Amino acid sequence: MRESGFMKSTQPRRGALWAVIVVVLASFPGLGADDITTLSASSGWALSDAVVRGRQPVAEGRMEIRGLGELTFDPSEIVTLRPDIFRPGHFSVFDVLVHVAEREGVEMEYVFDEALQTHRLLTLRGLSGWWYDAHYEGGNFDRTVVPMDLFPVKDGMNIVVYLENPMRLDAISEHLRQQTARQADRDGPVVIPRVVLQSAIETVEFVDVTVVAHNSRSDVFQDGVLTVLDLLLSLGEDGFLESLGLQWRAQDGELEIVDGYYVVAIEADGFAPESTGACVLTHQVQGETIFEYLSAHTHTLSHIHLTADLEVLLSPEVVEWLWICL
């Protein structure tokens, strides 16, 4: 067992910002308990590769660059600049930006910043200070802080590149810089200093959680790439979770492409939230530098977001999870 620890509290935490990441089982008719994969110590904490077949982008996509307009792209023409992260056929929002800028002859300068461990856009059209936002079909723009070269592209998504508030952009860069420095100082496995599970009546906190890759999305990511879902799976392997319920959803009603794991149940020692009505499990990657620049999310249950299995985990200070039933 890797070294981790936990604290338990029955007092709800106040003031946290939460991103609604997963729409849970109760919201969708026709889906029953048989559709849920329940992981536990007896079953093991690995997901079957046979379940996951996330589709590669194939349809014509669109990206808006503020001040330039909306540009289209053909996914078959894009090759990722992060082959260390993405499997062939998959790519990021940054890959799209580089592709359309080169095709349209738009002046663009960028570097891979070792201190941030991501590509940094220096100038576009002679201007500096650019950032982006993106969402999948069925979602809304969330003012993301996910590095641009780590946000996976799917068919039907919306992407906008815009000039960001300099203070917010600096905070995002510092947030990434601190994560890189934390991992460099450790020079070993990724360890998250604080992980929080919270329901309406209980809070469980885990400290110094070592995260290992489970390759649950080997259809999209290279082996060894960590995701936020790996954090929960690692807690399970360490004996801190009793069970975890996951559901693979290929589509949702009229939304043809979802292709993500939904966390529909979780149970730890003394932490077993009930599903009363329509419930959501939310997560938020936190850090002191970035906290005031995170946006609260007020989406309805019909919206589709970046699921935990598709959000690459770096080395943040805190990852918080909240179980909500509406």
pLDDT band at 25 (very low <50, low <70, confident <90, very high): very low
d(CA 257, CA 265): 23
Tell me, what's the pLDDT at 262?
Answer: 82
Q: Is the pLDDT of residue 96 over 90?
A: yes
Contacts of 298 (CB under 8 A, 6+ apart): none
Regarding whether 14 and 47 lie in a shared domain, the answer is: yes
Regarding whether 320 and 205 lie in a shared domain, the answer is: yes
Regarding whether 307 and 194 lie in a shared domain, the answer is: yes
Q: Is the pLDDT of residue 6 over 70?
A: no
Regarding whether 194 and 128 lie in a shared domain, the answer is: no
Check residues 310 and 278 and name the one with the higher pLDDT: 310
Say which range, 32-36, 85-89, 187-191, 236-240, has the weakest mean pLDDT. 32-36
Average pLDDT, the chain: 85
- What b/e readout covers 288-300, taking b as 16+ CB neighbours within 10 angstroms? ebbbebbeebebe
* Residue 158 placed within a domain: yes
Tell me, what's the pLDDT at 255?
Answer: 83
Q: Which domain holds residue 30?
A: 5-54+187-325
How many other CB atoms are found less than 10 A from the CB of residue 76?
A: 10
Q: Is the pLDDT of residue 296 over 80?
A: no
Regarding whether 197 and 101 lie in a shared domain, the answer is: no
Q: Is the pLDDT of residue 209 over 80?
A: yes
Tell me, what's the pLDDT at 277?
Answer: 63
Tell me, what's the pLDDT at 283?
Answer: 83
Distance of CA 43 to the CA centre of its chain: 26
* Domain-terminating residue out of 121, 138, 169: 169
| pTM of this structure | 0.88
Tell me, what's the pLDDT at 13?
Answer: 41
Please state the domain count of the chain.
2
d(CA 246, CA 230): 12
* Domain-terminating residue out of 110, 142, 169: 169
Tell me, what's the pLDDT at 9?
Answer: 47
Q: Is the pLDDT of residue 19 over 80?
A: no
Residue 139 to residues 155, 266, 315: CA-CA distances in angstroms?
13, 25, 26
- Which helix (DSSP H) or strand (DSSP E) does residue 172 occupy? helix 166-186
Residue of 125, 92, 61, 114 whose CA lies nearest to 311: 92
Tell me, what's the pLDDT at 4?
Answer: 60
Structure token digits, residue 315: 């080395």
Regarding whether 316 and 247 lie in a shared domain, the answer is: yes
Tell me, what's the pLDDT at 10?
Answer: 40
Contacts of 92 (CB under 8 A, 6+ apart): 80, 81, 82, 85, 86, 148, 149, 150, 151, 152, 153
Regarding whether 252 and 147 lie in a shared domain, the answer is: no
Pairing of strands 190-198, 318-325: parallel
Regarding whether 31 and 115 lie in a shared domain, the answer is: no
Alpha helix (H) residue ranges in 238-320: none
Amino acid type, 141: F
Regarding whether 232 and 319 lie in a shared domain, the answer is: yes
Residue of 288, 282, 150 whose CA lies nearest to 227: 150
d(CA 254, CA 60): 19
Check residues 101 and 300 and name the one with the higher pLDDT: 101
Regarding whether 242 and 307 lie in a shared domain, the answer is: yes
* Residue 177 placed within a domain: no
| Cβ atoms 299, 140 nearer than 8 A | yes
> Mean pLDDT, to the nearest integer, of 304-321?
91
The answer to whether the Cα torsion of 200, 250, 309, 244 is positive or negative is positive
pLDDT band at 200 (very low <50, low <70, confident <90, very high): confident
The answer to whether the Cα torsion of 21, 168, 15, 244 is positive or negative is positive
* Residue 69 placed within a domain: yes
Q: Is the pLDDT of residue 51 over 90?
A: no
Q: Is the pLDDT of residue 302 over 80?
A: no
* Residue 178 placed within a domain: no
* Domain-terminating residue out of 169, 198, 216: 169
pLDDT in tens, 138-174: 888 888 999 999 999 999 999 999 999 999 999 999 9
* Residue 105 placed within a domain: yes
pLDDT band at 249 (very low <50, low <70, confident <90, very high): confident
* Residue 180 placed within a domain: no
Q: Hey, what long-range contacts does 138-144 have (CB within 8 A, 24 or more apart)?
A: 138/252, 138/255, 138/258, 138/302, 138/303, 138/304, 139/299, 139/303, 139/304, 139/305, 140/299, 140/303, 142/19, 142/295, 142/297, 142/305, 143/294, 143/295, 144/306
How many other CB atoms are found less than 10 A from the CB of residue 277?
A: 9
* Residue 164 placed within a domain: yes
Tell me, what's the pLDDT at 3?
Answer: 53
Regarding whether 208 and 140 lie in a shared domain, the answer is: no
Regarding whether 234 and 157 lie in a shared domain, the answer is: no
Q: Is the pLDDT of residue 202 over 80?
A: yes
CATH number at residue 90: 2.170.130
* Residue 26 placed within a domain: yes
